[in-house]
Amino acid sequence: MTSSVSLAQQQDPIVEAIVKEGTHHSQLKAYAFELLDVIGPRLVGTPQMMQAHNWVKEEYQKMGLEARNEAYGTWKAWERGTSQITMTAPRIKSLEGMQLAWSPETKKNGVEGEVVVLVDAQSKADFEAWLPSIKGKYILISALPPSGRPDYQWKEYATAESYEKMKKEREAIEQAWNQRITNTGYTAKELPKILEKAGAAGVVMSYWTGIMGANRIFGAQTTKVPTVDLAFEDYGLLYRLAEGGKSPRINVNVQSKDLGIAQTFNTIAELKGTEKADEYVILSAHLDSWDGGTGATDNGTGIITMMEATRILKQVLPNPKRTILIGNWGSEEQGLNGSRAFVADHPELVDKIQVVFNQDNGTGRIANIAGQGFLHAYDFLERWLSAVPKEYKKELKTHYPGSPSGGGSDHVSFVSKGIPGFMMSSLSWGYGNYTWHTNRDTADKIVFDDVQNNAILIAIMAYKASEEPELVPREKVNLPINDQGEQQQWPVSKEPQRNSNNY
């Protein structure tokens, strides 16, 4: 132990043992390797998601915990294959891109076609008149910003006048493109289906984050022709060639498998309690991910943090007072479906849950905890945090009592039921632009020192919460008046989406 640990903390042998175990015997890198490099991305309904459920279950069983895969619904089943996108005219060039999740496959050698930009129609009638011309063509449906350089470079190197000019140009392009979409008479989500129906060879987009090389990869709306996302640089190339009258052509060869329908699961593990075994401390993280990268910081780091915290507790505190339940949720990315299903399917637990600690937003050290609108959150959270050695919380800020979250991550599924659930919010490390739902969310982005810090902190807090004499109070604050002069309301508990119909 370092000298910064207080006398009170030194006198708690469990805290000392947690720190020692987490520091000297960490399994975080081994967990990350198996989950992220071997299994890979974990899109709901894919074989890899099922592989992840089974691997997590087996790891908890190896620790000596009870673990199970708990079914709660179904989802469309699909498996990603290769994406090969080549510009064939006016010259040959391999393009950087990939098919979106659930995209249909092409024939074996791909489909070639001309690339055109979505028409700048003045009305729905104009748009409908244009549609017959797109048969066999690939349609670009994203705006093209004026610069492929990130804002931080503009701020550092450009003149103030040049930077302001670029920003105004970018804003004008965005507004004009939004109007172009509106003028079709369809939403951005509906548009790919309309283009597909009109005979397009495929849909091409670029969901650029503003950072070189980072694109967000979500799901396709087409069901017969492919939807692909291209890197900003290659998308811009095609866009300029098409607008310049050079009639670019591409060959899109994307392979995937439509596997029908698959069951969806939560993986639940339990370190059984003794004196109050029917009361629960929940460690929460979602196992699923989008699949442009490997879901490393969203939310592989949350999963391995909870696994490591549990492993530490099993070594140090094999017989806690309360049961420590680990929820590895499915389909968070489609609307908190796994955790919502768990709450809905286990009404007998609602009044027996002491606290939920949820981790979901990246690889950084836990830096913020808000009270989520629970009137007495200060009392019990600060009591538990006081047991954490200073070096593991030196940047941690708290805000009490706070307001309840209405969305964002799995703690909301519990908060909406009046259960004390808290987001263990991390330092950014560029999460929003670099890794959140992007093709760059890979294992090399993990900062293991920070994740180790988090596993130790959460293990100590879970220990203290499990040993608390009584269940903590759940009184809620009176929420303030909103800008419209209306009384704000506690979030309403929502039902999970248990299948992919209409998704």
The pLDDT of 2-16, averaged and rounded, is 66
Q: What percent of the chain has pLDDT over 70?
A: 98
Q: What percent of the chain has pLDDT over 90?
A: 96
The pLDDT of 491-502, averaged and rounded, is 96
The pLDDT of 93-103, averaged and rounded, is 98
pLDDT of the residue at 368: 97
- In tens, the pLDDT along 280-332 reads 999 999 999 999 999 999 999 999 999 999 999 999 999 999 999 999 999 99
The pLDDT of 339-355, averaged and rounded, is 98
pLDDT of the residue at 475: 98
DSSP code for 32: H
pLDDT of the residue at 22: 98
Which is it for the CA torsion 36, 38, 40, 42, positive or negative?
negative
- Residues 190, 216: contact at Cβ < 8 Å? no
- In tens, the pLDDT along 417-471 reads 999 999 999 999 999 999 999 999 999 999 999 999 999 999 999 999 999 999 9
- Residues 345, 489: contact at Cβ < 8 Å? no
49/394 Cα distance (integer angstroms)? 36
- In tens, the pLDDT along 28-86 reads 999 999 999 999 999 999 999 999 999 999 999 999 999 999 999 999 999 999 999 99
- The tokens describing 481, both together, are 């008046």
Q: What is the mean pLDDT of the chain?
A: 96
6: pLDDT strictly greater than 60: no
503: pLDDT strictly greater than 50: yes
Which is it for the CA torsion 438, 442, 446, 451, positive or negative?
positive
The string of DSSP codes covering 48-91 is HHHHHHHHHHHHHHHHT-EEEEEEEEEEEEEEEEEEEEEEEESS
pLDDT of the residue at 10: 57
5: pLDDT strictly greater than 70: no
Residue 11: pLDDT band with limits 50, 70, 90: confident
2: pLDDT strictly greater than 80: no
Determine how many CB atoms are found less than 10 A away from the CB of residue 37.
Answer: 13
- In tens, the pLDDT along 254-277 reads 999 999 999 999 999 999 999 999
Strands 322-329 and 276-286: parallel
pTM for this model (two decimals) = 0.96
Name the amino acid, one letter, at 348: E
4: pLDDT strictly greater than 90: no
pLDDT of the residue at 1: 43
3: pLDDT strictly greater than 50: no
Helices (H) and strands (E) in the chain, counts: 14, 15
- In tens, the pLDDT along 185-219 reads 999 999 999 999 999 999 999 999 999 999 999 99
